[in-house]
Amino acid sequence: MLAGSLPLASGPASSGDAETGRALARIWCAQCHVVALDQERATDVGPPFTEIANDPTKSNVSMTAWLTDPHPPMLTLSLSKKQIGDLVAYIKTLKAN
Footprint on this chain of ligand HEC (rule: CB under 6 A): 25, 28-29, 31-33, 45-47, 52, 58, 62-63, 66-67, 73-75, 77, 87
Nearest-approach distance from CB 15 to ligand HEC, in angstroms: 16
* Closest to ligand HEC by CB, 39 or 58: 58
**Residue whose C-alpha is closest to residue 63's, from 38, 43, 44, 83:** 83
Give dist(CA 49, CA 94) in Å, integer: 7
* Closest to ligand HEC by CB, 18 or 29: 29
Give dist(CA 75, CA 97) in Å, integer: 30
